[in-house]
Chain A
Amino acid sequence: MLSAVIFLPLVGVALLFAVRDAAVRATALVVTIITFIVSLPLWFQFDPHQAQMQFAERADWISVPPISYSVGLDGISLPLVIMTTFLMPLCVLASWRAIGTRLREFMACLLVMETAMVGVFSALDFVLFYVFWEVMLIPMYLLIGVWGGPNRLYAAIKFFLYTLAGSVLLLVAIIVLFFQGGQTFDIQLLSKVEYSAALQPWLFWAFFIAFAVKVPMFPFHTWLPDAHVEAPTAGSVVLASVLLKMGAYGFLRFTLPLLPDATATFTPIMITLSLIAIIYGAYMALAQTDLKKLIAYSSVSHMGFVTLGIFALNEQGIEGAISQMVNHGLTTGALFLCVGMIYERTHSRLIMDNTGLAGPMPRYATCLVIFALSSLGLPGTNSFVGEFLVLVGTFFWSRLAAVIATLGIILAAAYMLWMVQRVAFGLPAKAQASHLSDLNWREMVILSPLVLLVFWIGVYPSPLLTPMHQTVNRLVERVEHDKGGLVARGGGHGDTHESVSRLWGRMP
């Protein structure tokens, strides 16, 4: 069933080249919707009481060395897979009118991306993971480079080279692990091995470069604003909502369980980089005049919370990080969709060209305000859940770090509210502003499920948090297994504060 979710989009690519020009959009939409529907049983049949991989499928691929097609989901990957399949139909809808040229190829790129992204989250073989991880580069490069904005060539090649340069060392690390970890590429077997203290730092930094470029962590974030600004709307959504999560997912799936000692050693550096990303991203967002750039820098800041939570190395932090990954995917994706919609009308992404929209476009302004509030982490919206848990987790690790991170939330409120104030409620910029049409039915269809999820997760996050408890527990045990020190500070408080996440989790 999981394989069906992975490969259905590829079947869709074949279909795209078989249908008439007029049916391309509909075909892509139907394929992504079917993929989403097929992926839903994964969510409902997932057993939250188990920590091991579920829906596992395995077939031999290459015999020497043993590389298998092996996929499966646990509490970390399940929410990300569902989020991906959920967002893809919205991306297709968002490109309905915005993409005029070479529509077939555009949709084909999107569908190949979907296969690669779901594949990355569900691969249980390290080489298979790497294959999916790299496959995604080419369609994303084309999405930015062919259908992007004026400076698209620069942005596309920058994105490509940054990510590729980051991930080639990962390949070396994978092969080293193969020889050190018992001649296997099986991720679950590899995570049971204790690697020598001399080897772990090397592997840690090789992993770090690959994942940190993708997240992106400070100082590897410079490709992100360029890529986001130049990419077409659907490209920005895929980039912000799913691609960035792949880096954080890499930390959770590989760095923490495979290299617990090195992780503990380098945690202070990781936390520091995360804090810098939070503050710096927010600070940069304050200064932006381009809406997409503003959201891009806000992504840097929000992804800082994700890595902060991961390297807090306790249950609250990691659960917060995973929720923040999903929530950032939904909220930022929604914000990019909003920017795309206004760009289709005014052909400008500058804040000063798009002011005072609440008058002519009340429905649009309402949605924008909701997503902006969600982005700044207002209680009752989805992002609050993740950010709160991350802050709780960080608090156990270091109070100072938690205080600094909170500053990031305040700054987020500043740049988001200021943006909303100008875009929704400022003085109309142009004479023709009053002629702007409000959201049509297609755009309402795109945004309403996102609005729904923003409040649903904000008010009742248990369905999101429950599936990840067991997996995260086991991960934290693995990390704490053979050391005291830094993590023990969090662990020591664990008993008293566990109830904080249980508050939402309602674990039996």
Chain B
Amino acid sequence: MTLPLNDLLAILPELIVAGTACLVLALDPLTPMAKKDWLAWLSLGALIVCIGVTASQLGGVVSAFSDLVIIDPYACFWKLLLYGGSALTILLSMSYLKEERIHLAEYYGFLLLSLAGMMIMVSAADLLTIYLGLELMSLALYVLAGFKRAESRSLEASAKYFVLGSFSSGILLYGISLLYGLTGSTRLSAIAVATSMLGLDDPAMLLAMILLVVGFGFKIAVVPFHMWTPDVYEGSPTSVTAFMAVASKVASFAAFMRVFLEALGGLKGNWEWLFLVLCVATLVLGNVVAIVQTNIKRMLAYSSIAHAGYAMIGVVVAGQAEAESSIRTLGLSSVMLYLAVYSFMTLGAFAVVAMVRKAGVDGDEIEDFAGLSARHPMAALLMLVFMVSLAGIPPTAGFIGKFYLFMAAIKAGLTWLAIIAVVLTAISAYFYLRVVMVMYMRDPQPVSRSAPRFVASPAMTVVLACALAGVVLLGLFPNTLVSLTAQSVLVLK
């Protein structure tokens, strides 16, 4: 059997990323310790090539491998976002890994493999392809979570993530097989046709849908499938946490929305209330529990749960049974906008956390940030901007993201949901501002006072500058991104 060239061209970015991952792993033993940076630069180069390829695919819709994969603007948007997130993660990792003394080139190999999995997820048009991508992403992440081999917290994170993750993958697979049994296909388009004829009240269908919700809910960390998040985020190396919080969540959201709106769109009547409950529960729990955290990575973990809740608002809006297409478009595009904004501010925040990590200072406790404004005014100012943006206060991007979500909710008649969300936003300001308070209004602790003054490495500076530019420019001039999301929104029947 020969593979048609067109199909291979369609998945060229995936091939490049996976190929580079293998190349990095193969070159690793041949590269001297001091030159490991070269492999990071090689990975970055591959990503830049991918950005070019995907940007050239942005306009059209191509399906490949007899509809297993689809390259549409929706997929391309997410891929571009994933490249950005991964590139910044690689840059962020370089100095952080050296600080942790785990600067090994496998790291970049696994990172790229995980990215390849995510890319397959976002452009999959078949449930099995999605599953394939999801497993590739997760397996690489399990390894990355335990990358600080010497530290028990990291190993615990890895084991916990692996056990719970495999469990949720299993549940997802059950859901897929049930759907296959009911509809006779794993193609999203074929399922859509079959479900619209099957009717709503088949209990097996309901079960299949619930199993899918559990599987995806685990990956995007919505309540009540969020239990793993704080422990895994806390234990993993900070750069990996950033990658999980941003890229893995973004990719899972993309696949989740495609499955539910495209394949299971006919079952809206069944899942709209379910999503509404999940959304409110996620918003409330994420924002409220974050208040009592003293570890900044745990706090950011709960904050990422809360942000998944905000993004869910858009999914709920798009899933309204009687919504007109303009409302669905607004709902979906606001999710895309929000996740793009979320990526920048979350990466920025984790970059500062990674930077504060120094011999003698963990940088994990919020108290470690005491007096940061005196020790490193620039880092403190950046963290201030990221926290303000996470809290959704203008003129930062976080405000714009929330603004569109609330617009969508109110347009769809869910004003009460918008009210719950804004009230929780006000509550969230408390824990984000606590970081600001500690940085600006507390004196440094004795340990951190004696710690060496840290300087940001050039790579770290690039990461922070990109994240800052994203947060500020998207806050002041969101036009381009807004129109991009509106164009690349999932085409729904």
Contacts and interface: CB of A to CB of B under 8 A. Distances in A.
Contacts of A161: 426, 429-430
A164 B479 contact: no
Contacts of A165: 423, 426
A145 B441 contact: yes
B422 interface: yes
A141 B394 contact: no
B394 A145 contact: no
Contacts of B440: 142, 145-146
B193 interface: no
Contact of B388 (A102, A138, A172): A138
Given A134-B399, A171-B406, A171-B422, 8 more contacts: A64-B486, A138-B388, A153-B437, A157-B430, A168-B425, A172-B406, A175-B410, A179-B411
Given A62-B478, A145-B440, A169 B430 contact: no
A137 interface: yes
A157 B406 CA distance: 25
Interface in B184-229: none
B407 A62 contact: no
20 contacts: A62-B479, A63-B483, A64-B482, A102-B373, A135-B394, A135-B395, A138-B384, A142-B436, A145-B441, A146-B441, A156-B441, A157-B430, A157-B433, A168-B422, A168-B426, A169-B423, A172-B415, A175-B403, A175-B406, A179-B410
Contact of A131 (B394, B436, B437): B394
Interface in A165-222: 165, 168-169, 171-172, 175-176, 178-179
B441 A171 contact: no
A373 to B, nearest CB: 38
Nearest to B374: A102
Size class of the contact patch on chain B: 20 to 34
Contacts of A65: 407
B451 interface: no
B429 A164 contact: yes
Interface in B434-487: 436-437, 440-441, 478-479, 482-483, 486
A228 interface: no
B437 A156 contact: yes
B393 interface: yes
A161 B418 CA distance: 19
A293 to B, nearest CB: 22
A80 B455 CA distance: 45
Contacts of A137: 393
Nearest to B385: A138
Contacts of B61: none
A223 to B, nearest CB: 14
Contact of B403 (A135, A171, A176): A171
Interface of B: 373, 384, 388, 393-395, 399, 403, 406-407, 410-411, 415, 418-419, 422-423, 425-426, 429-430, 433, 436-437, 440-441, 478-479, 482-483, 486
B393 A134 contact: yes
Contacts, number: 79
B441 A152 contact: yes
B79 to A, nearest CB: 24
Residue from B395, B407, B423, B436 whose CB has the most chain A CB atoms within 10 Å: B436
Contact of B437 (A127, A157, A169): A157
Question: Which size bracket describes the interface of A in this complex?
Answer: 20 to 34
A344 to B, nearest CB: 22
Contacts of B430: 157, 161
Contacts of A178: 407
Interface string A103-146: 00000000000000000000000010011001101100110011
The residue among A102, A165, A171 with the most chain B CB atoms within 10 A of its own CB is A171
B433 A141 contact: yes
A160 interface: yes
Contacts of B425: 168
A161 B424 CA distance: 12
Contact of B410 (A63, A138, A145, A172): A172
Nearest to B440: A146
A145 B422 contact: no
A175 B426 contact: no
Nearest to A166: B426
Interface string A94-107: 00000000100000
A199 to B, nearest CB: 11
B489 to A, nearest CB: 12
A179 B418 CA distance: 14
Contacts of A168: 422-423, 425-426
A138 B394 CA distance: 10
A354 to B, nearest CB: 28
Contacts of A172: 406, 410, 415, 418-419, 422
Interface in A58-81: 62-65
Contacts of B399: 131, 134
Nearest to B413: A179
Contacts of B393: 134-135, 137-138, 164
A169 B429 contact: no
Contacts of B423: 165, 168-169
Interface string A365-383: 0000000000000000000
Nearest to A63: B479
Contacts of A141: 433, 436
B422 A153 contact: no
Contacts of A157: 430, 433, 437
Nearest to B391: A164
Contacts of B373: 102
Contact of A176 (B395, B415, B482): B415
Instruction: Pick the most buried of B411, B441, B482: most chain A CB atoms within 10 A of its CB.
Output: B441
A130 B403 CA distance: 11
8 smallest CB-CB distances across A and B, nearest first, come from: A168-B422, A131-B394, A165-B426, A175-B410, A168-B426, A145-B441, A164-B426, A134-B394
A145 B429 CA distance: 15
Nearest to A178: B407
A286 to B, nearest CB: 33
Given A131-B399, A134-B394, A168-B426, A175 B419 contact: no
A160 B394 contact: no
Nearest to B429: A164
B429 A160 contact: yes
A175 B317 CA distance: 16
Contacts of B433: 141, 157, 160
